[in-house]
Structure 1
Amino acid sequence: MINTLGLLEVSGLVAGVDAVDAMLKTAPVKLLNHQIMTPGMVTLVVEGDLAACRAAVEAGVVAANRRGTVISHHVIGRPDPDTETLVTHLLGSMCALSSNDPASSKLQPQQLLAIVSQAVRGMTAGEVAAQVDCSLEQARLALEKLYLSGRLRKRSSRYRLK
């Protein structure tokens, strides 16, 4: 059970790295999760005791403001078990490997289409892999499958909605 969650959302990868470095150096917290969204939005989730999470999030806000823009931050003391499950499981990975074929992708097509639709210029397989926390090969296979089924179009290495 998680004692306290600290959440910080920033604009810019450099600001996110600077913020998480400050958070981890300031207080005894553990980085639970991170999410890189399009276009350059980074969400960081830390856990620890209430005072440590508050100190870490505040240090992260100060550090991120030096390099980018803080979008939002919040500390949740004693999160509900459902909230804990959401943060620890759903944010981290939307694709999983099949036990019998390590190269097959179980990425949900509707989720993938929603992710690609958010990007104005489309997305590369590498960008999708980073966003859904799966291998480049899995992302490429899932995107090609949607392309071949006629649900996506492809120009160079970018995939877009049809």
Structure 2
Amino acid sequence: MAKERSSRQAVGTIETDGFPPVLAAADAMLKAGNVTLVYYGLAERAEFIIAVRGTVSAVEQAVAAGVIAGEATKRGTIISHYIIPNPPENVDSIMPIHYTEASRDFWV
């Protein structure tokens, strides 16, 4: 059975230099807040980005924990992080930050 998700969602992203901090950040984010990982990508020069969705408070909590965990890794760094409360439908439908069938079992 598919879970229903709240209509008031936020998106939070963390960009890292190197794989260890993105892995640490993703792990901490999912453990710290009731969020769903909706995007993982590799940019140029070994930069990685992850995005999570959930309520505004859950995303804020998750991103904060992800930044701390990513900064604690011995190799790589956090480049940037950002939270958008309630992104507009146009942003949500065009950019790779929306819920997908692959994440359905994890929707919050």
- TM (norm. structure 2) is 0.77
How far off its partner does 1:2 sit?
6.1
Deviations 1:69-110 (A, max 9, x none): 111111111101111123337xxxxxxxxxxxxxxxxxxxxx
2:10 to 4, 9, 16: 4
Structure with bigger RCO (C-alpha 8 Å, 6+ apart): 2
| 2:45 counterpart SS class | coil
In the superposition, relative to structure 1, how do residues 84 and 13 fare at CA in structure 2: closer, same or farther (>3 Å)? same
User: Which residue in the other structure is 1:43 paired with?
Assistant: 49
- The code of the aligned residue for 1:86 comes to I
Percent identical pairs in the alignment equals 30
1:53 corresponding residue in structure 2: 59
Matched, 1:78 2:72: no
**Count of residue pairs brought into register by the alignment:** 90
Matched residue SS, 1:17: helix
Superposed CA RMSD = 1.7
Tell me, in whole angstroms, the C-alpha distance in 1 between the residues paired with 2:43 and 2:86.
27
Q: SS of the counterpart of 2:72?
A: helix
Q: Which amino acid aligns with 1:23?
A: M
Distance in 2 (CA, whole Å) between partners of 1:31 and 1:87 is: 14
Q: After TM superposition, what 4+ stretches of structure 1 lie above 4 angstroms from structure 2?
A: none
Structure 1, gaps ≥5 residues long: 90-162
- The C-alpha deviation readout for 1:131-161, integer Å capped at 9, x for no partner, is xxxxxxxxxxxxxxxxxxxxxxxxxxxxxxx
Q: Which runs of 5+ in 2 are unaligned?
A: 1-6, 98-108
